[in-house]
Chain A
């Protein structure tokens, strides 16, 4: 009996031993990834894949500036047929109009992706590896560009006199979601944009092999844009010059087909950074009617008159000059060579260099007029040059996500102040220069979660 018990005990022990051994060898077994497509980002390939997410990084920038600007109007029946009250509110500049959260969330998603890439580069010691600086530069570019997009909608125009006191936007510089958001001053906001873009320019390669990726030329273009908005014409002009010197090319509109549904293709030669605004119902070509005075301002031999516009057959015109090769409510809003020429020309005019300004302007315009018909413009003074440059800027950069920011900054200058008007079935809405409504309301969800200050009304 005793012996039997002993053998029983032995058997039980053997089984127990087998079980224990199993438990020791199982740790490696449990390291296997549950989904092959999922990884913890640790290689340059992973980080590049995040930055190559076109839907997040390139095609999701705020569009409310365009919706509130004066490039277009809606007919009363189209206004009535709008399905979203938000679009109606925006169109009529309703003071307490609700803001769709994507206007805030989408650019900050770009900021998060950029911060995540910057942190993963550091944690994995990849910043200095081959290919690392380019990725780091791209992350800085995306972050700076996204901050600028948010500021353009939710902050006042950059006014050097008050920028320290004006409310900018929150500047999240880490991927950690725990720190509370705080609104930086407008000065801090714009300085952060400049600093990010400068770092980007220092790290990015001159050209991109993949068209959605930013490069040094794009960083120069974006710097010229932000510094122009800040009124630093000297620096803005220098970056614009660098951009043009680095090889930014112009499209000759004589080579485009005016009868095509979409004459200007995606990733065309002028696109320096591929950025698209979120689509809006008001921007559908079938609904969105080009401002009639603006349409009439084009000369008959101006190719833009047929390339940018399509007649609706009833005296109204639709815009088909989207730099994305599609007729869509999703509009190109990134830096392009034509914008850089206009930035450069404006800086020269403002710095008193009338000749340089007109040369730059004429170089651009030559590609916009029917070949052999263009008569170069000339200006008797720097101020006259500035007026010419701004007139051409209005005619070139429409539906490009730039008009709202231009209105804001030009309203600071008595010479260029504009009062906007909408007429909906006899009801007239106006937006005077410097109105508080130029800073749209921050979505209530953001205010309630973060406690940051709402824009005043």
Chain B
């Protein structure tokens, strides 16, 4: 920490000192101070107080400080979004309290940013969702995107598979089969290519989500999945210096491993005993070829059978394992309470001719996994100068440095990763540490009875101890991201200005994984290639010592944009138009390599023979060459784009907008005329409440919007010509070789997404109720998708433009002010409806089992939901045998093979596996200095498939399930359970039938208390701050209601729900 202060605070302090010399800041002038409050005495944060050319923005407690132009009376203009503008004359030196009244047209002052221009929302035709800083900062996460969860309409975070919010996030559903669903992220005018977690959320001023074609199609072929525009904080001209500090601490609970349906150890042991009696393990036990691992129980049973120990002793030892649960060791030794801290300091201000913003942030996260965590330092500056009256120059610089730690790739030890060769889970009675906390060994790649004795002590220790691996973990990723931007704007005439913007991004990341000589990976590699050395010992071509894997990646991106802006207002006419062109390039380089015999203390290493194929120790593994892990890559994307956007407003009543864009990219193997695609949009808005005849007092604000247009998706990896990809070197021949990526496809086209949006914005009297409703239809055409072809062509599927998806939906946002006065109560209600169905798809295959899954990936069938869940119809268990039964041609059947694979047409369709209805209800209560806000989120209208016992997986892969305890065991059980009886030998098709059957489908609907936030705004005069906010925030608080009876949280699929977090923080403004 000390080191950190020395290195990172110093530049900031220096910057602060330098700022003292900026013109306008340090001059002595009369000062006007005061507060801006709403009619119900709530402080208004962010209100603009203007005195002539000087302006200030109120802080969190509504306070402002302004340099008066003279010592005499000053005339102030006070404005705030949603409130009536007020003019007031004050005398400098005497603190003043200004009360604002709410305005009917509450949305009027909101400005939305598309990344190309800022549009007043009242003149916008498109569907924008703007999240202001206050709402954005309700949460405390260190990541920008995850803070949007639960506070926006149209966005859905699918947490079933991927913790990375960029992969989990969709806006208004899916619009591409193959091109990914991630929306385009724009940070301050340009697409952000780096890791979005480099952006410090404390630097974010607002986030705008561009939802429909009129809003997004200005981004052309990258807008098909929606656009998120992040605007970072900037200084304002004529603003006194403001310093803001935000600091918080978050505690995260250990993940609840006991939520997982792990099979009871005792049950697992019983199954092993049964299988042992059947001779199931005889093959493995007698296998001297590959010496496959067997579990400790099977090993004991084998020893008892061969007379190595008595059966009494064996049973005693086995019974001792019945109460062991590996999760207890995990909880105790592999997890901790996560602690993360976040500190952000910013400074901003401005004079007549310059404005500035500086910030520094530090985040440190010690996650709940013992080796997992990161720290991040961010530094940012953004300055604007007006050297000439008509010229504005802007320059910004942003640095982000992160260090991430975790487990080593080849030494995984996590609960779900800890499984021996050929298995997919560990036996539940595994013990990972003894009573003294010393690591214990588990079965890994070979039979431990063999590896413990072979070599007579001359080999390296061949045991695998997960806890030891965890303690030796040494995996660091350091990444540095630099973003520099520069803009110049020249205003000529009264209506034109021209601007040139340039952005440069440079990201360098290094992943360094060191395998300690004591790690299993190193010992196993050395032993694996060890051969008798002729003198009683063993020699291995793999040198002793550690192994160092280095992977580097480097991204460099340039963006250059020239744009001409035209704004004119005459009479009742307003025109705002832009036209420009843009050229961008991003180039990613990566390389990786490995060093053997690396000694981190002396920086020495050893040479190895990477060419010779070495035999495996006693032939128990495949012969091979010593892996070198060398890899190189060089990816280049280039775009040239032309765009224009214009809107015309008549009499503040009618607005017409249109945009057009053409993108060209370096699509591979395509003729130039196919490299580009023209995209366009048009929109219409009618502010009904501005009509002379409009007198509905109940609804003083009413606006209707209608837009239509196209955006696109681009996938540079596809090609119209036969393309091949080189792969480094084959270990048999030491020659480079190539794979065919695409057979020729002369009809390759760009994917297009057409969208119609109909929206209504409304506001009730006094701002009591405000909101908007958007209805949309989305048609994605020419989507590149797999099409099964005759295998005789040498391909099983080809990727061609022949899928189409249709999305329809609604976004509703309703804000109400239920109580005003001392006790305030506001409610925000968000509701999204989104249903994506398939209009065209040729990828359907013959095999019915291909459709039966968990709905984690797209499962397109024409006319059905994109993430469709299908199942085999369920006819209950056979009362005599406990066999699962289904229907074949209408009759009850146990012909699993036919039902599993040949009944594609008669599969039951269960519905969508992703939420169709979702949203949030956020209530905020304020009382004096306190505010309490609770966010309840809901996801409804979808189904999920529960995991259950699969005897094939249990026997072969050790993957059990707690449902085993509820299996059919005797006639009559079928009345209370759907879990089939255990049979030997395991019948793969019978298991496939049951695990894919209707019996395991449940309604996935949930309502949960997502978070709670309590804030206290301290306004005491004795404080050395203008404002001090103390807050507490708790998230992932739990499910209030769930539709399924199994106690499962379907939001997290088969994974563990996100653990509860608790944060405490303070925010001070000077």
Q: Which residues does A use to contact B, with CB under 8 Å?
A: 4, 7-8, 11-12, 15, 18-19, 22-23, 26-27, 29-41, 46, 49-50, 52-56, 75-78, 80-85, 98, 101, 104-105, 108-113, 116, 120, 170, 172, 175-177, 180-181, 210-212, 260-262, 266-267, 284-287, 310, 312-314, 318, 325-328, 443-446, 448-450, 452
Supposing A35-B725, A211-B733, A328-B622 touch, asked if A40 and B669 sit within 8 A by C-beta, the answer is yes
Supposing A11-B498, A50-B737, A83-B988 touch, asked if A34 and B717 sit within 8 A by C-beta, the answer is yes
Give Cα distance in the complex from A19 to B619, angstroms. Answer: 68
Is A40 touching B721 in the complex (CB atoms < 8 A)? yes
Give Cα distance in the complex from A263 to B757, angstroms. Answer: 72
Is B278 touching A77 in the complex (CB atoms < 8 A)? yes
Is A327 touching B289 in the complex (CB atoms < 8 A)? yes
Chain B window 279-305, contacts with chain A (Cβ cutoff 8 Å), 1 for yes, 0 for no: 110111011111010000000000000
Is B791 touching A445 in the complex (CB atoms < 8 A)? yes
The minimal Cβ–Cβ distance linking A179 to chain B, given in whole angstroms, is 9
What chain A residues lie within 8 Å of B287 (beta carbons)?
286
Q: Which residue of B lies closest to A286 (CB)?
A: B287
Stretch among B322-330, B738-746, B965-973 lining the A interface: B738-746
What chain B residues lie within 8 Å of A327 (beta carbons)?
289-290, 619
Is B623 touching A325 in the complex (CB atoms < 8 A)? yes
Q: Which residues does B use to contact A, with CB under 8 Å?
A: 278-280, 282-284, 286-290, 292, 492-493, 496, 498, 562, 564, 580-581, 583, 613, 615-616, 618-620, 622-623, 633-638, 640, 642, 664-669, 672, 675, 716-717, 719, 721-727, 730, 732-733, 735-741, 743-744, 788-796, 798, 845-847, 897, 901, 952, 955-956, 984-989
Supposing A15-B562, A34-B717 touch, asked if A177 and B581 sit within 8 A by C-beta, the answer is no
Is A445 touching B846 in the complex (CB atoms < 8 A)? yes
What chain A residues lie within 8 Å of B667 (beta carbons)?
34
Is A52 touching B737 in the complex (CB atoms < 8 A)? yes
Give Cα distance in the complex from A82 to B795, angstroms. Answer: 29
Task: Name the 8 nearest CB pairs between A and B, nearest first.
Answer: A261-B619, A112-B794, A77-B279, A286-B287, A80-B985, A49-B738, A36-B634, A450-B790
The interface centre, meaning the residue of B615, B619, B666 with most chain A CB atoms within 10 A of its CB, is B619
Cross-interface CB contact of B562 among A18, A38, A55, A105, cutoff 8 Å = A18
Cross-interface CB contact of A326 among B493, B583, B622, B638, cutoff 8 Å = B622
What chain B residues lie within 8 Å of A77 (beta carbons)?
278-280, 282-283
Is A34 touching B666 in the complex (CB atoms < 8 A)? yes
Is B733 touching A212 in the complex (CB atoms < 8 A)? yes
What chain A residues lie within 8 Å of B278 (beta carbons)?
77, 80
Give Cα distance in the complex from A181 to B794, angstroms. Answer: 12
Is B619 touching A262 in the complex (CB atoms < 8 A)? yes
Residue pairs across A and B with Cβ atoms less than 8 A apart, 23 shown, are: A7-B492, A8-B492, A12-B564, A30-B640, A30-B672, A35-B716, A41-B722, A49-B736, A53-B738, A75-B283, A76-B279, A80-B984, A81-B280, A83-B952, A112-B793, A120-B722, A177-B795, A261-B615, A261-B618, A313-B288, A318-B289, A448-B846, A449-B788
Is B638 touching A32 in the complex (CB atoms < 8 A)? yes
Is A262 touching B286 in the complex (CB atoms < 8 A)? no
Is B794 touching A104 in the complex (CB atoms < 8 A)? no
Q: A39-B723, A52-B738 are in contact. List 9 more A-B contacts (CB 8 A).
A: A15-B498, A40-B721, A54-B733, A108-B794, A170-B792, A285-B289, A325-B615, A326-B623, A449-B790
What chain B residues lie within 8 Å of A452 (beta carbons)?
792
Give Cα distance in the complex from A142 to B725, angstroms. Answer: 20
Cross-interface CB contact of A41 among B623, B724, B847, B988, cutoff 8 Å = B724
What chain A residues lie within 8 Å of B666 (beta carbons)?
29-34
What chain A residues lie within 8 Å of B284 (beta carbons)?
286
What chain A residues lie within 8 Å of B723 (beta carbons)?
38-41
Supposing A445-B788, A449-B788 touch, asked if A286 and B289 sit within 8 A by C-beta, the answer is yes
Give Cα distance in the complex from A284 to B287, angstroms. Answer: 10
Is B722 touching A22 in the complex (CB atoms < 8 A)? no
What chain B residues lie within 8 Å of A54 (beta carbons)?
730, 732-733, 737
The minimal Cβ–Cβ distance linking B844 to chain A, given in whole angstroms, is 11
Supposing A111-B794, A210-B735, A286-B289 touch, asked if A34 and B637 sit within 8 A by C-beta, the answer is yes
The minimal Cβ–Cβ distance linking A123 to chain B, given in whole angstroms, is 10
What chain A residues lie within 8 Å of B788 (beta carbons)?
445, 449
Give Cα distance in the complex from A328 to B616, angstroms. Answer: 12
Give Cα distance in the complex from A153 to B619, angstroms. Answer: 31
Is B736 touching A449 in the complex (CB atoms < 8 A)? no
What chain A residues lie within 8 Å of B498 (beta carbons)?
11, 15
What chain B residues lie within 8 Å of A12 (beta carbons)?
496, 564
What chain A residues lie within 8 Å of B736 (beta carbons)?
49, 52
Cross-interface CB contact of A177 among B668, B672, B789, cutoff 8 Å = B789
Supposing A80-B280, A211-B733 touch, asked if A112 and B901 sit within 8 A by C-beta, the answer is no
What chain B residues lie within 8 Å of A313 (beta carbons)?
286, 288
Q: Which residue of B lies closest to A20 (CB)?
A: B581
Is A34 touching B716 in the complex (CB atoms < 8 A)? yes
What chain A residues lie within 8 Å of B282 (beta carbons)?
75, 77-78
Is A98 touching B901 in the complex (CB atoms < 8 A)? yes
Cross-interface CB contact of A175 among B618, B726, B743, B955, cutoff 8 Å = B743
Is A53 touching B493 in the complex (CB atoms < 8 A)? no
Is B724 touching A49 in the complex (CB atoms < 8 A)? yes
The minimal Cβ–Cβ distance linking B961 to chain A, given in whole angstroms, is 18
Is B642 touching A53 in the complex (CB atoms < 8 A)? no
Give Cα distance in the complex from A433 to B351, angstroms. Answer: 99
Give Cα distance in the complex from A165 to B800, angstroms. Answer: 38
Supposing A15-B562, A77-B283 touch, asked if A112 and B740 sit within 8 A by C-beta, the answer is yes
Supposing A34-B666, A36-B634 touch, asked if A53 and B717 sit within 8 A by C-beta, the answer is no
Q: Which residue of B lies closest to A101 (CB)?
A: B791
Is B730 touching A52 in the complex (CB atoms < 8 A)? yes
Cross-interface CB contact of B283 among A29, A31, A78, A325, cutoff 8 Å = A78
Is B636 touching A33 in the complex (CB atoms < 8 A)? yes
Q: Which residue of A lies closest to B619 (CB)?
A: A261
The minimal Cβ–Cβ distance linking A344 to chain B, given in whole angstroms, is 29
The minimal Cβ–Cβ distance linking A309 to chain B, given in whole angstroms, is 13
Supposing A34-B717, A211-B732, A212-B733 touch, asked if A104 and B791 sit within 8 A by C-beta, the answer is yes
Is B664 touching A30 in the complex (CB atoms < 8 A)? yes
Is B665 touching A449 in the complex (CB atoms < 8 A)? no
The interface centre, meaning the residue of B289, B618, B638, B743 with most chain A CB atoms within 10 A of its CB, is B289
The interface centre, meaning the residue of B847, B901, B952 with most chain A CB atoms within 10 A of its CB, is B847
Is A81 touching B283 in the complex (CB atoms < 8 A)? yes
Is A29 touching B638 in the complex (CB atoms < 8 A)? yes
Is A36 touching B795 in the complex (CB atoms < 8 A)? no
Is B722 touching A81 in the complex (CB atoms < 8 A)? no
Cross-interface CB contact of A35 among B635, B638, B743, cutoff 8 Å = B635
Is A105 touching B794 in the complex (CB atoms < 8 A)? yes
Is A11 touching B794 in the complex (CB atoms < 8 A)? no
Give Cα distance in the complex from A180 to B562, angstroms. Answer: 52
What chain B residues lie within 8 Å of A449 (beta carbons)?
788-791
Is B635 touching A34 in the complex (CB atoms < 8 A)? yes
What chain B residues lie within 8 Å of A266 (beta carbons)?
613, 623, 732
Q: Which residue of A lies closest to B292 (CB)?
A: A286
What chain B residues lie within 8 Å of A22 (beta carbons)?
581, 583, 640
Q: Which residue of B lies closest to A29 (CB)?
A: B638
Is B623 touching A29 in the complex (CB atoms < 8 A)? no
What chain A residues lie within 8 Å of B615 (beta carbons)?
261-262, 325
What chain B residues lie within 8 Å of A52 (beta carbons)?
730, 733, 735-738
Is A445 touching B847 in the complex (CB atoms < 8 A)? yes
Give Cα distance in the complex from A261 to B755, angstroms. Answer: 66
Give Cα distance in the complex from A80 to B228, angstroms. Answer: 56
